[in-house]
Amino acid sequence: MSNAFMNTYHKLPVTFAKGEGSFVYDKEGKKYLDFTSGIAVNLLGHNYAPLVKAISEQAAKYIHTCNYFNSDVTAAFAEKLVQACAPAGMKKVFLANSGAEANEGACKLARKYSLLKHGEGRHTIVTLNGSFHGRTITTLAATGQEKFHKDFGPFTEGFIHIQGGDNDALDKALNEKTVAGLLIEAVQGESGIVPQSEEFISAAAKICAQRDILLIFDEIQCGMGRTGTFLALEQYNVKADIVTLAKGIAGGIPAGAVLAGEKTAEVFSIGDHGSTFGGNPVAAAAGLVVLETVNNQDFLKENKRKGEIILAALKKHPKVKEARGRGLMTGFDIESDSWAFLEAGIARADKAKNKQGLLMLSSGANTVRLLPPYCITDAEIEQGLEILSELLG
Ligand code: PLP
């Protein structure tokens, strides 16, 4: 481990040398089954040949052109992404580099829409307790978790948080005179894997439509097919006004996107927003492979089916307090500290004894989060569940 880094991450004791499919290998050749996908990023697994080929071929053509010029590969990616999000009502896209940047763009878009349509003073964005929207000063303000706010104020003003599932609080908070948007994750990823209820999301969609408040879905962790539909919001039978994506959108190359529906598609004008690296051609080439693979009903159904196997096994396990999830996005609560559990998954790897480690994530204080790559096979799921059972004791 290097001392060069600022002290921002809880580092686990392993350094990787290579990956293949659902597995990674450390520098000593120890093997680990990857139930993290790099936090919902390596959707197609490691060293996926068509992805590696697309990235290398694009890098050999040109790596970057600024957004003043046109790039066919970036345009093809933008068109495919809008198409994939059309069932949610999306019409246009702005390409960015990360989740926080996508959410910043979404907040700007919502505020400008509200200003143009309803005038000054209607700029508040309502978000949910337990949400996570990023680490910039504005997206921290949007994030409904106090622990991330400590030491970093003052924040961008105009964000309030309510409890998900509380329809009265929702009705009260969505004030048509002050609120521009409601920003929600259909399945919260960073506070214990929390799917929102259908009643809550449909009430939100109804109130937002009545009061012309923009309904914004942060699909950065739960989107891109992870929950069994391309966007998790599709399972709630609602449409969005804005959707944000990042993480797995380009299979491991940094990228993000703000998608705009009918109301917001034409709101930005030239000079309103921008990003040097947004729409990078190498990321776009990678993103095209991801979209061509993932945005396919059979493929999505498989994610759902595989996720159900994992969730059912977790729910049955006597040592699991509670398990929640949708598709390949599951979390389970344990009695002990989740970081110690993650370390035990790594410590299990032993080359001499031919024992694999299991890579997992934490989410909140006592939840273990599982986000396997979509290439995971039934046999690999079985292996992972056996290791989990052993670790749970
Ligand atoms: N929104 C959600 C739901 C996330 O899970 C994350 C990251 O974990 C973000 C936003 C921020 O994304 P990024 O780390 O790419 O800025």
Pocket of ligand 1 contains residue 222 by CB under 6 Å: no
**Does pLDDT of 134 surpass 80?**
yes
pLDDT at 74: 98
Q: Say if CB 274 and CB 260 are below 8 A apart.
A: no
Pocket of ligand 1 contains residue 132 by CB under 6 Å: yes
Same domain, 75 and 208: yes
Confidence of residue 328 (pLDDT cuts 50, 70, 90): very high
User: Which residue's alpha carbon is at the smallest distance from atom 13 of ligand 1?
Assistant: 99
Mutation to probe ligand 1, out of 104, 131, 132, 243 (largest number of atoms < 8 A from CB): 132
Pocket of ligand 1 contains residue 254 by CB under 6 Å: no
User: How many CB atoms within 10 Å of residue 57?
Assistant: 12
Same domain, 62 and 205: yes
pLDDT at 336: 84
Q: By C-alpha distance, which of 6, 23, 3, 27 is closest to 15?
A: 27
pLDDT, average across residues 104-128:
98
Alpha-helix residue ranges (DSSP H) falling in 175-271:
198-211
Q: Is residue 134 part of a domain?
A: yes
Q: In percent, how much of the chain has pLDDT > 70?
A: 100
> 25 lies in which domain range?
16-34+297-392
Pocket of ligand 1 contains residue 98 by CB under 6 Å: yes
pLDDT at 299: 95
Q: Is residue 7 part of a domain?
A: no
Centroid of ligand 1 to alpha carbon of 343 (angstroms): 23
Domain end call among 277, 294, 311: 294
Q: Is residue 227 part of a domain?
A: yes
pLDDT at 104: 98
Same domain, 281 and 311: no
Contacts of residue 5, Cβ cutoff 8 Å, sequence gap at least 6: none
Contacts of residue 349, Cβ cutoff 8 Å, sequence gap at least 6: 14, 26, 30, 31, 32, 355, 356, 357
Pocket of ligand 1 contains residue 190 by CB under 6 Å: yes
**Does pLDDT of 55 surpass 90?**
yes
pLDDT at 337: 86
Over residues 200-258, the pLDDT tens digits come to 999 999 999 999 999 999 999 999 999 999 999 999 999 999 999 999 999 999 999 99
On average, the pLDDT of the chain sits at 97
Same domain, 21 and 63: no
Q: Is residue 4 part of a domain?
A: no
Rounded Cα distance between 161 and 148, Å, is 14
Residue type, 200: F
pLDDT at 280: 98
Centroid of ligand 1 to alpha carbon of 329 (angstroms): 15
pLDDT, average across residues 356-382:
96
pLDDT at 268: 98
Domain end call among 294, 315, 347: 294
Mutation to probe ligand 1, out of 136, 185, 247, 326 (largest number of atoms < 8 A from CB): 247
Residue type, 304: K
Pocket of ligand 1 contains residue 307 by CB under 6 Å: no
CATH of the domain at 120: 3.40.640.10
pLDDT at 2: 86
**Does pLDDT of 332 surpass 90?**
yes
Pocket of ligand 1 contains residue 258 by CB under 6 Å: no
pLDDT, average across residues 282-303:
97
131 CA closest ligand 1 atom index: 3
Confidence of residue 68 (pLDDT cuts 50, 70, 90): very high
Same domain, 65 and 171: yes
Centroid of ligand 1 to alpha carbon of 285 (angstroms): 22
Confidence of residue 322 (pLDDT cuts 50, 70, 90): very high
Q: By C-alpha distance, which of 6, 40, 95 is closest to 285?
A: 95
Pocket of ligand 1 contains residue 217 by CB under 6 Å: no
Same domain, 152 and 211: yes
CATH of the domain at 22: 3.90.1150.10
Residue 364 falls in which region: left (phi positive, over 0), alpha (psi -120 to 50) or beta: left
Same domain, 161 and 126: yes
Alpha-helix residue ranges (DSSP H) falling in 153-219:
167-173, 198-211
Q: Which residue is it, tokens 């080929």?
A: 53
Question: Percent helix, strand, coil in the chain (nearest 5)?
Answer: 40, 20, 40
Confidence of residue 391 (pLDDT cuts 50, 70, 90): very high
Domains in the chain, number: 2
Same domain, 181 and 301: no
Q: In percent, how much of the chain has pLDDT > 90?
A: 97
pLDDT, average across residues 91-116:
98
**Does pLDDT of 1 surpass 80?**
no
Same domain, 235 and 339: no
Contacts of residue 315, Cβ cutoff 8 Å, sequence gap at least 6: 323
Q: Say if CB 286 and CB 250 are below 8 A apart.
A: yes
Q: Is residue 6 part of a domain?
A: no
135 CA closest ligand 1 atom index: 16
Q: Give SS3 for 147.
A: helix
Rounded Cα distance between 296 and 304, Å, is 13
